[in-house]
Structure 1
Amino acid sequence: MYGKKGIQAYKKDSIKSDLASADPHRVIQLLLQGAIERLALGKGCIERADWAGKAAAFTRAIEIINALRDSLDRDANPELVDNLEGLYDYMTVRINEASVSKDCAIIDQVIALLLQIKGAWDQISEADKQDAYNRESEIRAGAVNA
């Protein structure tokens, strides 16, 4: 009934709506999901020999991973941030390798890493999220009063 473009437009509007009302925790969840989806799309493009689609999907996945890396808060946990930065850098290198070699197994490895991060992120309780927001508000209030 609805064409592919209609579904894509709906999904795009739905994501924009979700992002517009999302808290920072939800934004990270959406970014992780978006990276996973783009990698799966790129993998499908490799299987269909759609090289332009592969390039677009992997480029977008790398952009999302870079956004995740850029959103890390070094003050919150420097050691964790160092580990995640290294992991995100590793992922982008591996995606580029997979793109050149057209190796879907590499993409599966990167997807598995992202799923582990997303799984951990999804386990953060509502109380822990609220504590983090409260601390962030206190830090901002202290910076304004300083």
Structure 2
Amino acid sequence: MNPMLALRQYQKVGAQAQVSEASPYRLVQMLMEGGLDRIAQAKGAMERNDIPGKGVLISKAIGIIGGLREGLDLENKAEEVERLDNLYMYMMKRLAEANITTDPAILDEVGDLLRTVKDGWDGIAPASPQF
């Protein structure tokens, strides 16, 4: 994970947290939390029939997941990195689909996928002192 890319993406989506002091590990956590928040907010906008708001929030979620994807070490050539890259691409496509179709079930699907990735990420913290 490239911490500078993660920092720039987090700042782009309007985060008010103190990212300058966050570790690279925490920056990734913050991005995932922000993505989950935007997905939940977009679902709320759908329920309220707030079409412009839904579009803005889904776009922000796509941007956050894109930032996570940009931070992957694709030169590593590890199978896990490739799978995660493909998963992030899938999530971004599904979010675009949810925006077009106004389908909250797709938001639930992507939220569940991102939550699973975040749970895995959260689980590596104690075993990875370099973060």
Normalising TM by the smaller chain, what interval? 0.7 to 0.9
Letter in 2 for 1:35: G
1:141 match = none
2:3 match = none
Deviation at 1:12?
4.6
The total of aligned residue pairs comes to 118
Q: Describe the SS at the equivalent of 2:73.
A: coil
2:33 match = 33
Structure 1 unmatched runs, 5+: 1-10, 134-146
Structure 2 unmatched runs, 5+: 1-13
**TM-score of the superposed pair, with normalisation by structure 2:** 0.84
Q: Which gives a bigger RCO, structure 1 or 2 (Cα 8 Å, sep 6+)?
A: 2
Assess, with a 3 A threshold, how the Cα gap between structure 1 residues 60 and 117 changes in structure 2: closer, same or farther. Answer: same
More helix by share: 1
Whether the 8 Å contact between 1:74 and 1:81 is mirrored in structure 2 is yes
Q: Describe the SS at the equivalent of 1:123.
A: helix
Q: CA RMSD in A?
A: 1.7
| Residues 101-141 of structure 1, C-alpha deviations (whole Å, 9 max, x = no match) | 111011000000000000010011334232xx5xxxxxxxx
2:121 match = 121
Asked which structure has the greater CA Rg, the reply is 1
**TM-score of the superposed pair, with normalisation by structure 1:** 0.75
